């Protein structure tokens, strides 16, 4: 499947901060989009981008220079996103497991970015199975999780630390020194975010990031907003996310309102991304993410620009594509 990116770009040449989307964008027929890459909303100037191979390279160059340090390659005719559709979540987990296995076979010391939530649970079972069957050796990998609730200690049953050890890490005999999640009980949460980001950078960045997607298009806890978030940051959860997370807590007042999350830029810098979505409730947001505007109102839509993103969907989640 191919998606065109085009339109007018407003570009601040020395900025590495945020991309802001203005205006509508949709392929077929291609209309115009506007990217605003601003440094603290400093004045920007305009580079017209037309729908030609040459001009798409301009977007590529702009993104590479101004926002993302990882070089990105965009197909001359547009952007390619690989989409795998399988009958059910178990089959989706098998595809995801095979892709992760391939990554770890290629690079035994892979840095894996991991997610929590219901979606990756069958994948973690599959990785445990592959590990137990001797089909993949996970002993040298390093893991970084997307996020953690603020205020929950690692041994809190609803914390993402707890989830990860229970669902995957202890089952494959991971050494705690190879496992990383933001510390939700750090005294200074902003400093903790900076530390976490620096740790990911020092590890050489993430080779393969597993993502789920929220009903509102969030990835990690990057909620819809006016700008794409940048690096690891403290995020306020939206009402829809609080309601979605309620199922894990006894009452609504126990659901944390704040979390630490990798930023959109942190996620985008991963060399490879596997976004998994299953179930009819995700169908609409998947269609928006894939076909809709690249906009911080749908944070996952930024992945249209990522050169190496795979969507792994069951039939229900793919129903509106």
Catalytic positions are 147, 216, 218, 223
**Helix, strand, coil fractions of the chain, as percent rounded to 5:** 35, 20, 45
Evaluate whether 219 touches 292 at the Cβ level (below 8 Å): no
Identified binder of ligand F6R from the candidate list 33, 110, 119, 183, rule CB under 6 A: 119
Evaluate whether 174 touches 181 at the Cβ level (below 8 Å): no
Question: How many chain residues touch ligand F6R (CB under 6 A)?
Answer: 14
The single residue listed with the structure tokens 């944390």 is 256
Per-residue contact flags (x/-) with ligand F6R for residues 255 to 294, judged by CB under 6 A: ----------------------------------------
Considering the complex, state which of residue 96 and residue 213 has its C-beta at the smaller distance from ligand F6R. 213
Considering the complex, state which of residue 220 and residue 292 has its C-beta at the smaller distance from ligand F6R. 220
Query: Which helix (H) or strand (E) element contains residue 290?
Result: helix 283-291
C-alpha closest to that of 232 among 120, 294, 147, 175: 147
Closest contact distance (angstroms) between CB of 249 and ligand F6R is 13
- Omega of the bond leading into 241 within 30 degrees of 0 (cis): no
Identified binder of ligand F6R from the candidate list 66, 99, 115, 302, rule CB under 6 A: 115
Identified binder of ligand F6R from the candidate list 118, 175, 236, 254, rule CB under 6 A: 118
Closest contact distance (angstroms) between CB of 167 and ligand F6R is 11
Identified binder of ligand F6R from the candidate list 12, 95, 146, 290, rule CB under 6 A: 146
Identified binder of ligand F6R from the candidate list 94, 126, 147, 192, rule CB under 6 A: 147
Identified binder of ligand F6R from the candidate list 78, 117, 217, 263, rule CB under 6 A: 117
- Pairwise CA distance, residues 303 & 261, whole Å: 17
Considering the complex, state which of residue 59 and residue 146 has its C-beta at the smaller distance from ligand F6R. 146
C-alpha closest to that of 192 among 228, 246, 222, 235: 235
Task: Dihedral sign for Cα 134, 139, 145, 151, please.
Answer: positive
In this structure, the number of other CB atoms found within 10 A of the CB of residue 265 comes to: 23
- Pairwise CA distance, residues 166 & 180, whole Å: 15
Evaluate whether 9 touches 58 at the Cβ level (below 8 Å): yes
Considering the complex, state which of residue 67 and residue 221 has its C-beta at the smaller distance from ligand F6R. 221
Closest contact distance (angstroms) between CB of 135 and ligand F6R is 25
Closest contact distance (angstroms) between CB of 88 and ligand F6R is 15
Closest contact distance (angstroms) between CB of 279 and ligand F6R is 8
Which residue of the chain is nearest ligand F6R when measured via CB?
212
116 binds ligand F6R (CB under 6 A): yes
> Which residues are CB-contacts of 133 (< 8 A; sequence separation ≥ 6)?
none
- Map the footprint of ligand F6R across residues 204-233, applying CB under 6 A: 212-214, 218-221
- Pairwise CA distance, residues 58 & 240, whole Å: 37
Considering the complex, state which of residue 49 and residue 93 has its C-beta at the smaller distance from ligand F6R. 93
With CB under 6 A as the contact rule, which of the stretches 94-102, 110-118, 122-130, 181-189 interacts with ligand F6R?
110-118
C-alpha closest to that of 100 among 272, 265, 313: 272
Considering the complex, state which of residue 4 and residue 164 has its C-beta at the smaller distance from ligand F6R. 164
CB half-sphere exposure, 272, CA atoms < 13 A: 14
Binding site for ligand F6R (CB under 6 A): 115-119, 146-147, 212-214, 218-221
């Amino acid at each position: 499947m191919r998606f065109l990116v085009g339109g007018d770009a407003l570009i601040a040449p020395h900025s590495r901060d945020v991309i802001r989307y203005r205006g509508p964008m949709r392929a077929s027929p291609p209309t115009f989009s506007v990217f605003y890459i601003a440094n603290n909303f400093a004045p920007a100037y305009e580079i017209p981008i037309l729908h030609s191979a040459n001009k798409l390279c301009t977007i590529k160059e702009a993104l590479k220079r101004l926002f993302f340090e990882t070089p990105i390659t965009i197909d001359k005719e547009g952007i390619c996103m690989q989409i795998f559709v399988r009958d059910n979540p178990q089959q989706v987990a098998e595809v995801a497991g095979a892709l992760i296995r391939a990554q770890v076979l290629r690079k035994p010391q892979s840095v894996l970015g991991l997610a929590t939530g219901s979606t990756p649970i069958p994948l973690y079972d599959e990785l445990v199975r592959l590990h137990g069957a001797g089909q993949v050796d996970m002993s040298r990998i390093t893991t970084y999780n997307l996020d953690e609730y603020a205020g929950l200690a690692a041994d809190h049953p609803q914390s993402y630390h707890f989830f990860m050890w229970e669902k995957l890490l202890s089952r494959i005999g991971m050494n705690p020194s190879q496992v990383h999640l933001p510390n939700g009980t750090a005294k200074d949460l902003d400093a903790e975010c900076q530390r976490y980001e620096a740790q990911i950078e020092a590890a050489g960045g993430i080779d393969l990031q597993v993502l789920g997607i929220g009903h509102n298009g969030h990835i990690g806890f990057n909620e819809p907003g006016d700008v794409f978030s940048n690096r690891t940051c403290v995020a306020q959860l939206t009402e829809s996310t609080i309601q979605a997370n309620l199922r894990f807590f006894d009452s609504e007042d126990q659901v944390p309102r704040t979390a630490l999350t990798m930023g959109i830029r942190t996620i985008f810098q991963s060399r490879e991304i596997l976004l998994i979505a299953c179930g009819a409730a995700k169908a609409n947001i998947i269609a928006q993410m894939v076909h809709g505007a690249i906009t911080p109102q749908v944070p996952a839509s930024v992945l249209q620009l990522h050169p190496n993103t795979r969507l792994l969907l069951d039939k229900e989640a793919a129903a509106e594509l």
